[in-house]
Amino acid sequence: MRSHPAEYEMASPGSLEGVLLLMNEEPGQWLPVAGATEVMVLFSAGKLGARRLVNLWGLAELREIREDTGSLTLGGGCTFSQIRNCEAVQRHFPLLAQAAAWTGGIANQNRATIAGNIANASPAADSAPVLLAYDAELELVSARGTRRMAYGEFHLGYKRTALEPAELIRSITVKKHFDGYVSYGRKTGARNAQAISKVCVAGVGRVQQGRVQDVRIGMGAVAPVPLRLSSVEAVVLGERISDAAISEARRALNAAIAPIDDIRSVAEYRRFVAGNLLEEFLRDLAASGEGLSPALARWNALPEMEAAEELLACCGSQRWAQELTRLRPFGSDAVLFETSDRVWWGLRSEDWEAAFRSHPRIGERKAPTVATKQSAAWSRQEQEGVHAQNAATLAELVRRNEEYEARFGRVFLVCATGKSAAEMLEILKRRLENDAATELRETAEQQRQITQLRLRKWLRV
């Protein structure tokens, strides 16, 4: 049953000082509310237990992003849109920008705040693994003063935190010592956008002389609280990443996590996927220490215009190719892959659309005129599973493609490698139910996956 507004009281003191004084007068009686994305879900379901709410939305003291030579500080009231679009976040903390882009749809990102995401204390929160991997520090504030705490110490149990009854999260600080690190972030869910995680992982690391010099891994949705996987890190720190080391790391992970069966997934699936994601990160980290492939070394030395032109086979966005070229030289294939993702998520929607236009329709062999010769060849390879299907499935795919184009104004794009026509048809039907903003983000994620696969092919050509 939906809650009735008359049963609730909302106070808006208008300043951080006023909020803290009110909360201090009656500790534990006032629920701080900013974007209210979680609160309104509970309210609509008739499950919002708190009856007295204090409004934090728009408080200037909580919305500031401060950068200095050694760190970046985000006010607790910063929205995920602010974070996603912040150039300093994109440059120094790409996983945080990536997690901000994962958090719900665009409307939610415009309202949801990072402190709210943390204080809500969901073990599946998208920002949590990233903040753990980056060793974030929290500033907690009350009318009695402030205190600082490592984010890794904040979660005490399921939906329990170290916040005292009259405290708020004022800010989150991350140190700038991850430049040159390999970054890895993955989220698995029922779909690529607006889905609560089944498993999410964030990892950063650096390899020197073939051995892991530093590694930090955060994981969510696999225990009552978001986890920093210290026991897993200890297995590989100082070691060469071999098959034996990866097997030992997976055993340590299995001992560290405690996934559950719930409405989104089952424990067995979460264990399996968590191990696979950990292994993928460690193999990327190992690859970063292998130095330059011959293809990357050659490309690093090309003239700028020629280098950018060569990348267009991997992604048809001129701006992506130009920006990636500008950031040369890359010291390893893995750093190139990570930087590609960071550049991609920092682009504008019109740059994404330019990349989308370089792909043929699913089921068509003819590539658009804007596609490079290599891109057209790769598109044909990627769609090998389409043309072997029966005529009825192909006809339905054509019809749904037309419906998609009429609705969204672009061709339907999916990472087709290894997928049959029937599988792509089911994906297409589901995505026809998306709103425009959700579908744009989902298409962008598909292009990111295609780009990563093609970059790997390009380095082998």
Residue 154 pLDDT exceeds 90:
yes
Residue 1 pLDDT exceeds 60:
no
Report pLDDT for 276. 92
Report pLDDT for 190. 65
Mapped onto helix, strand or coil, the DSSP state of residue 182 is: strand
Q: How confident is the model at residue 407 (pLDDT cuts 50, 70, 90)?
A: very high
Mapped onto helix, strand or coil, the DSSP state of residue 459 is: helix
CB atoms within 10 A of CB 146: 11
Q: Distance between CA 408 and CA 347 in Å, rounded?
A: 20
Report pLDDT for 248. 97
Q: Which residue has the tokens 């909360």?
A: 23
Task: Name all contacts of 7-14 with Cβ < 8 Å and 24+ positions apart.
Answer: 7/51, 8/43, 8/48, 8/51, 8/52, 8/53, 9/51, 9/52, 9/53, 10/53, 10/54, 10/55, 11/52, 11/53, 11/54, 11/55, 12/54, 12/55, 13/54, 13/55, 14/59
pLDDT in tens, 298-347: 898 899 999 999 999 999 999 999 999 999 888 788 888 889 998 999 89
Residue 259 pLDDT exceeds 80:
yes
Report pLDDT for 371. 67
pLDDT in tens, 97-125: 889 988 877 888 899 999 999 999 999 89
Provide φ and ψ at 91, rounded to 5°.
-75, -45
Report pLDDT for 366. 66
pLDDT in tens, 269-308: 899 999 999 998 998 888 777 666 778 888 988 999 999 9
pLDDT in tens, 2-26: 677 778 888 999 999 999 999 999 9
Contact predicate 298/290, CB 8 Å:
no
pLDDT in tens, 166-198: 999 999 999 998 887 888 888 887 655 556 778
For every residue of 199-243, DSSP letters joined together read EEEEEEEEEETTEEEEEEEEEESSSSS-EE-HHHHHHHTTS---H
Report pLDDT for 460. 75
pTM of the full structure: 0.69
Report pLDDT for 331. 77
Q: How confident is the model at residue 365 (pLDDT cuts 50, 70, 90)?
A: low
For the chain, counts of helices (H) and of strands (E) = 20, 14
CA dist 187 to 120, 191, 315, Å?
A: 19, 10, 22
What number is the average pLDDT over the span 395-414?
91
Report pLDDT for 54. 93
Please state, rounded to an integer, the average pLDDT across all residues of the chain.
Answer: 88
Mapped onto helix, strand or coil, the DSSP state of residue 168 is: strand
First to last CA, the chain: 60
The tokens describing 168, both together, are: 């708020």
Which is more confident, 30 or 362?
30
Contact predicate 343/327, CB 8 Å:
yes
Selection from 130, 134, 281, 338 nearest residue 219 by Cα: 130
Contact predicate 217/203, CB 8 Å:
yes
pLDDT in tens, 370-404: 667 887 777 777 766 555 557 788 888 889 999 99
pLDDT in tens, 29-87: 999 999 888 878 777 778 787 889 899 998 999 999 999 999 999 999 999 999 988 98
